Amino acid sequence: MQIKNTAKEYDVIIVGSGAGGGMATKVLSEAGLSVAVVEAGPFFDPADPKTMTQLKPAFHSPRRGGSTTRHFGDYDQAYGGWEIEGEPYGQIGDTDFKWFRSRMLGGRTNHWGRISLRFGPNDFKRKSIDGLGENWPISYDDIKPYYDKVDKLIGVFGTKENIYNEPDGFFLPPPKPRLHELFYIKGARKSNVKVIPSRLSVLTKRINNDRGICFYCAGCAKSCNVYGDFSSGSCLIFPAQKSGGQIDLYVNSMVRTVTTNDEGKATGVSFIDKDENKEYKLKGKVVVLAASACSSARILLNSKSKQHPNGLGNSSDLMGKYLHDSTGGDMMAFLPELIDRKTYNEDGVGGMHVYSPWWLDNKKLDFARGYHIEVWGGMGAPTYGTGFNVNSFNKFFGINKAGGYGDVLRADMKKYYGSTIGISGRGESVAQKTNYCEIDPNKVDKYGVPVLRFNYQWTDNEIKQAKHMQDTFEEIIHNMGGIPLWGKPGKDANYGLNKPGWIIHEVGTTRMGDDPKKSVTNQFERLHDVSNVYVVDAGPFVSQADKNPTWTILALAMRSSEHIVEEFKKQNF
Amino acid sequence: MKRRDSIKTIALASFGASLFLESCYGVSREKITRSLTRYEYGRTPEETLYDDKLFAQKFFTNDELLTLDKLCNLILPPNEFGSIRDAEVVQLIEFMAKDIPSYQEPLRNGLAWIDNESQTRFDNIFIDLDETSQKEILDEIAYYDPNHNMNDLPEPVQWFNLVRNLTMTGYFTAEVGIKELGYKGNFPNVWDGVPQDVLDQYGLEYDKEWLDKFVDQSKRNITAEWDDDGNLLT
């Protein structure tokens, strides 16, 4: 299936195979179109025992699952990370933007948290509410039918809650909360913070005969070998191949540019075959970019021509601008009540079983936009780092002595195992024109392709939101009878606000809109400037909501792909 | 056990010390590579190259490995569940010293320090002291005030903490340690909530209004169907 250098003209070339690329592959190939999927990383199937890490105990790794080569540990299924050898990116001024890339079939969908939240009606019209940023050119009603279809196609558990800005969907039933989550519920409710069952794309119940059901190993970050969770390969691309789609997969193939003709229309892509270190060209009637918000912007900015001197689709000069990531803040605590726990298997699904959607009205607060709360903890699988500073919690009992050697260490290990809880806020930032990625004119990667550099500063809104997170978490932890493990970060540390990019929700670089002067793509994610180039990753997001972006990437990609099919029917390509 | 035999014991179970093994005992490289197959952890070709490179290097001297073996055994003496040798703790420390090079200097300096200390006080190197003398030295570096920043404490205390951390993580991430800890997961099963006796212990219960919403594990294999309002029918 891995063909190189062909004279064939595809109907559609899809660049990238994550959430957006996978959905485009499925919809377009099932409509009978011939599709080339060009992926920068290798082929990956979660079911392949050779690459599988699910169910591996720590001692199958010589570093016991440590994080030297993969940021989230040896067993995390993301090939890449914050740094990729030979593929650098730069920073402007004191910017410290973290860019996480995963190069493999399925991209970052192989390891993500599976938190699958719909954007609500307010999330598409934030400017109308607080005057900041920009409204989307579409509303919740435009995208609702696609969310519904995504729910049924891929599967997501959750509960009907009838909360206006947290729309319900077609949910599978959720798993019961774990012990530390029951503590969280108690603590949060005391502070009037609402808690509801999580909404994760994990199959707690069968949805079809091609995919297995969750067997509760907490291993979603390892990508499920029975396809019990959503990843783009297992749930979109492989089923599309199975149903007879004309799909050619080009792996280890890094797209450099979108090629154009004299009329300025796209003719295909040029890519570097990483195995041979040679460049090839593919011809296509339509090019769909789904390489991730920043990678797609990079490809387009690098696709300069006489007709498009500022980069392809960049007449607005907004390509790369309005880049924004979720805000993030965390607090970790010790729960004295949970020492010397009875042990039992509480793995559950890979992620939290309950969460708190945004519960306040910003009119009464000193910052814009909200955040949701995630919770983690419990008796997790031992991995590298387990047992470090085993009895430093002694200090919480007024014992100013820790360390030692001998059997006391075994006793302390068991005493404190599973006694911590973590709370994380993931919130919405306000998109800024001054936060952007652009091509660094002086730097190329090991393939000779100009690289990106970033300019990004948080504003007061995000910093005050982070302060609100810390104050809220402190109160909830106090309500639980917990003791925070470290002091609250102050103003000098932006109240613990994570660096931009750290939450891996970067969006907005090719934002959509009706006005070609104020946006890069239209509501069908098509470049205003070029009628046969689409961007179906998170680049077209106008604002990011306090929701994780994947479910919206999928719904938009489905909507845009159906639009492409309609355009083909009208013979517009 | 004679020193040479105990080196053999450490090395035999380890690919980390493979070159040492190859040179000392003439075991073929092919045989060593075969012993590696127990590490099955889904590497990419690039990662395999990197880890192979580490395996092929040797950091600690044989004397250092012996001292580490003794220290780790004092930190976690064998019990009915297992030993630091079962858990291949010294091999892990050898590997991590290569994987995280910033460990190298403090680990090596500490090993030199404890032999110097042993010489000064008892006129012999650490592993040749009786256990009472060994513990006398450890007693002075093994404890710390957890309210202090570790980096502000004397270097020997920091060093012993590092060795203790690596020993603990090495043991409790190994098969014997995981069993002793009582971690029962990473295994296909069906989660149906916190056991009742545990809920009772903490005076907790599941919300009555939530109970109907949770997954009915007896119906998990029945394909989901919904009405038009998203109500699950099956």
pLDDT digits (tens, 9 = 90+) for A426-477: 999 999 999 999 999 999 999 999 999 999 999 999 999 999 999 999 999 9
Q: How far is CA A412 from CA B35, B88, B177, in A?
A: 34, 21, 13
Nearest CB partner across the interface for B41, out of A61, A348, A414: A61
Instruction: Parse chain A into domains and list their residue ranges.
Output: 1-44+79-155+230-325+435-455+508-573, 52-76
Closest-CA residue of chain B to A183: B204
Residue A121's pLDDT band, with cuts at 50, 70 and 90, is: very high
Chain B residues within an 8 Å CB radius of A207:
223-224
Chain segment B203-222, per-residue pLDDT in tens: 999 999 999 999 999 999 99
pTM for this entry: 0.95
Q: What is the mean pLDDT of residues A166-180?
A: 98
Number of Cβ pairs closer than 8 Å across A and B? 265
Q: Which residues, other chains included, contact B101 with Cβ-Cβ below 8 Å and sequence gap of 6+?
A: none
In B, which residues are within 8 Å of A383 by CB distance? 173
Residue of B nearest to A416 (CA): B181
How many whole angstroms separate alpha carbon A507 and alpha carbon A296?
A: 11
* DSSP states of A129-163: HHS-S---SS-HHHHHHHHHHHHHHH--B-----B
Per-residue confidence at A380, pLDDT binned at 50, 70, 90? very high
**B21 falls in which pLDDT band (50, 70, 90)?**
very low
| B188 contact A CB<8A | yes
**Residue B24: its pLDDT value, please?**
39
Mean pLDDT, rounded, for A293-312: 97
Q: What is the pLDDT of residue A401?
A: 97
B147 neighbourhood in chain A, CB within 8 Å: 395, 400
pLDDT in tens, A521-543: 999 999 999 999 999 999 999 99
Residue A197 is predicted with a pLDDT of 98
Residue A312 has pLDDT above 90, yes or no: yes
User: Averaged over A127-141, what is the pLDDT?
Assistant: 98
Q: Give the whole-angstrom CA distance, residue A463 versus residue A94.
A: 17
- Nearest-neighbour CA in chain A from B219: distance (Å): 8
Q: Give residue A130's pLDDT band: very low, low, confident or very high (50, 70, 90).
A: very high
In SS3 terms, A51-119 reads as CCCCCCCHHHCCCCCCCCCCCCCCCCCCCEECCCCCCCCEECCCCCCCCCEECCCCHHHHCCCCECCCC
pLDDT at site A363? 95
Tokens of A561: 């792909």
Instruction: Report pLDDT for B2.
Output: 45
Secondary structure (DSSP) of B66-120 = HHHHHHHHHHS---SS--TTTTTHHHHHHHHHHHSGGGHHHHHHHHHHHHHHHHH
Confidence of residue A7 (pLDDT cuts 50, 70, 90): confident
Report d(CA A532, CA A518) in Å as an integer: 20
- Strand, coil or helix: what is B54? helix
**Yes or no, beta carbons of B173 and A172 under 8 Å apart:** no
Is B143 within 8 Å of A402 (Cβ atoms)?
yes
Residue A26, φ and ψ in degrees, nearest 5:
-65, -50
Question: CA A165 to CA A454: how far, in whole Å?
Answer: 32
> A403 and B164 in contact by Cβ < 8 A?
yes
A146: which residues sit within 8 A by CB, 6+ positions away?
A554, A555, A556, A558, A559
Position A128 pLDDT exceeds 80: yes
CA distance A232 to A105: 8
Average pLDDT for A103-121: 97
For residue B194, the chain A residues in CB contact (below 8 A) are 176-179, 182, 346
Going from the C-alpha of A415 to that of each of A178, A217, A257, A316, the distances in angstroms are 19, 24, 57, 61
Cβ <8 Å between A349 and B96: no
- Is B57 strand, coil or helix? coil
Q: What residues of chain A lie within 8 A of the CB of B186, using their CB?
A: 55-57, 217-219, 347, 381
CA A206 to chain centre: 25
Contacts of B122 (CB under 8 A, 6+ apart): B129, B133
Whether B10 has a pLDDT exceeding 60, the answer reads no
Position A303 scores a pLDDT of 98
| Tens-digit pLDDT profile for residues A253-299 | 999 999 999 999 999 999 999 999 899 999 999 999 999 999 999 99
**DSSP code, position B196:** H
Instruction: Specify the pLDDT at position B18.
Output: 44
Residue A443: count other Cβ atoms within 10 Å of its Cβ.
13
**Predicted local distance difference test score (pLDDT) of residue B20:** 44
Burial classification of residue A130, based on how many CB atoms lie within 10 Å of its CB (0-12 exposed, 13-18 middle, 19 or more buried): middle
Strands A327-334 and A420-427: antiparallel
Q: Given B77, B79, B224, which is nearest A207 (Cβ)?
A: B224
What are the angstrom distances between the C-alpha of A561 and each of A20, A136, A293, A485? 10, 19, 18, 48
- From B82's Cα to the closest Cα of chain A, the distance in A is 12
Residue-range domain boundaries for chain B: 60-181
Q: Specify the CATH architecture of the domain A1-44+79-155+230-325+435-455+508-573.
A: 3-Layer(bba) Sandwich (3.50)
Q: pLDDT tens for residues A541-561?
A: 999 999 999 999 999 999 999
Q: Which of B174, B197, B215 minimises the CB distance to A173? A: B215
Interval B136-160: pLDDT, tens: 999 999 999 999 999 999 999 999 9
- Per the CB < 8 Å rule, is A403 touching B44? no
Structural tokens at position A128: 């109308």
Q: Which residue has the tokens 């300025």?
A: A264
Residue A531 has a pLDDT of: 97
pLDDT for residue B14 is more than 50: no
Distance CA(A366)–CA(A388), nearest Å, equals 40
The mean pLDDT of A77-92, rounded to a whole number, is 97
pLDDT tens string B86-132? 999 999 999 999 999 999 999 999 999 999 999 999 999 999 999 99
B153 touches chain A (CB under 8 A): no
- What pLDDT is stored for residue B40 in this prediction? 80
| pLDDT, tens digit, 9 for 90 and up, residues B27-79 | 444 544 444 556 789 999 999 999 999 999 999 999 999 999 999 999 999 99
Nearest to A525 by CA among A288, A320, A316: A288
Average pLDDT, chain A: 97
Give me the interface pTM, i.e. the ipTM.
Answer: 0.95
Query: How far is residue A283's CA from residue A5's CA, in Å, rounded to a whole number?
Result: 10
